[in-house]
Amino acid sequence: MKNEPVPARLGAGDVLRVGFSGLRARPARVVLSALGIAIGIATMVAVIGISSSGKEDLLRRLDRLGTNLLTAKPGDTLFGSKAELPGTAPEMVRRIGPVTAVGATGAVDATVRRTDRIPEEVTHGIAVQAATIELLGTLEVETARGRWLHAGTARYPGVVLGSEAAERLGLDRVGGQVWIGGPSGGRWFTVLGVLRPAELAPEIDRSALVGWDAAGRYLGFDGHPTTIYERSTDASVGDVRNVLARTVNPEHPEEVEVSRPSDALEARAAADGAFTGLLLGLGAVALLVGGVGVANTMVISVLERRREIGLRRSLGATRGQVRLQFLAESLLLSAFGGAAGVVLGAAVTAGFALWKGWPPVVPGWALGGALAATLAIGTAAGLYPAMRAARLPPTTALAAV
């Protein structure tokens, strides 16, 4: 018994060499099987990366735009009709201690057109609004061309166009004229400037903005604001929000709707997260299909290599060593696919983010999770073929060929 041979143990290097040799013998099949894993991993990494890049861009936009902008608009009365904000509301809001800036717009019953020859019904979805001089600073929007209203131009027939309004009117320069008309008649207004997009107030993008006094003098504006924009210190947003309705309309605060525009961006981020979950599910399905492909490849490999298995067993290889050999091949096959998928997913993320103007972000946990999923799939896919190979008796395996 003392001279009984003891099976040699396979070291880590031996296992890798044996596993690589098994894969090198069937390169085409290995590539096709690894492709399924790569597609699944690339899908999951790209989905997480694109979602993370979009969220990072959104967070940067929120940091730039600020979350301290509140708006107050008229709601509905008890009788179901539209309420009306007092004309003194903007001035009342300025008296709130933490408030740093206040601007307002008021809807004007008028339309803006390139010429007076165009029918009034053709509005192109552009609203005419009266605007206070402080509006631009409150929204922190810049002019793309020309100038904003000031104390002099706000009293005369001048207009500043939102970004979409200028595009719909086909105006790419300042100094031209547009026809603004309403029930009391109309007249030509000189285009003073064109604004950049107002991300927190998209309604401004689709508006033609005239001075508060000019709107009353030339267009019959009644002086009642329809939207009040205010900014306060970040720490006091909640307190200002609690008192804003009562300040805007002390007699009927229930008829005032107060909102924070940045909430819409945060809600969109949550919706994007839900959509990301759906895409991750699709990526998981692709990964599962890839795992099935690996398992199928390994089962076929066992059937084709019965003579090799029998020969190794006859030369002294234990069942555990045979099992370890085929499990190593499965793990290596999955690892190749997983590595290719990680690289492909990161490349897709970077390309898409750069195309959208986002900062490319691929979370480290996504890469770690992808590699862990790859190893899990490789283990699950190779376990049955490895056990089947280990159970083959040497004589049966050699006689089968």
If asked whether residues 343 and 240 sit together in one domain, one would say no
**pLDDT attached to residue 131:** 96
**pLDDT attached to residue 225:** 95
Given a cut of 70, whether residue 130 has pLDDT beyond it is yes
If asked whether residues 230 and 93 sit together in one domain, one would say yes
Count of domains observed in the chain:
2
**pLDDT attached to residue 35:** 82
Stretch 332-355: mean pLDDT: 88
Stretch 337-350: mean pLDDT: 89
Given a cut of 60, whether residue 372 has pLDDT beyond it is yes
Given a cut of 70, whether residue 5 has pLDDT beyond it is no
If asked whether residues 380 and 328 sit together in one domain, one would say yes
φ, ψ dihedrals at 285, nearest 5°: -65, -45
Given a cut of 90, whether residue 97 has pLDDT beyond it is no
Q: What is the pLDDT of residues 6-42, one digit of tens each?
A: 555 655 665 667 666 766 767 777 787 778 778 888 8
Mean pLDDT for the chain?
A: 82
If asked whether residues 134 and 246 sit together in one domain, one would say yes
Q: Is 91 exposed, middle or buried (0-12, 13-18, 19+ CB in 10 A)?
A: exposed
**pLDDT attached to residue 12:** 61
Candidates 332, 384, 323; CA nearest to 26 is 332
More confident residue, 9 or 371: 371
The region, left, alpha or beta by phi > 0 then psi within -120 to 50, assigned to residue 182 is beta
Q: What percent of the chain is modeled with pLDDT above 90?
A: 35
The region, left, alpha or beta by phi > 0 then psi within -120 to 50, assigned to residue 124 is left
User: How many residues in total does the chain contain?
Assistant: 401
- Supply the range of the domain harboring residue 329: 12-62+266-399
pTM exceeds 0.85, yes or no: no
Q: What is the pLDDT of residues 137-152, one digit of tens each?
A: 999 899 999 999 999 8
If asked whether residues 132 and 152 sit together in one domain, one would say yes
If asked whether residues 251 and 277 sit together in one domain, one would say no
Last residue of a domain, one of 261, 284, 303: 261
If asked whether residues 100 and 241 sit together in one domain, one would say yes
End-to-end CA distance of the chain: 35
**pLDDT attached to residue 68:** 86
Per-residue CA distances from 361 to 269, 345, 347 (Å): 15, 11, 11
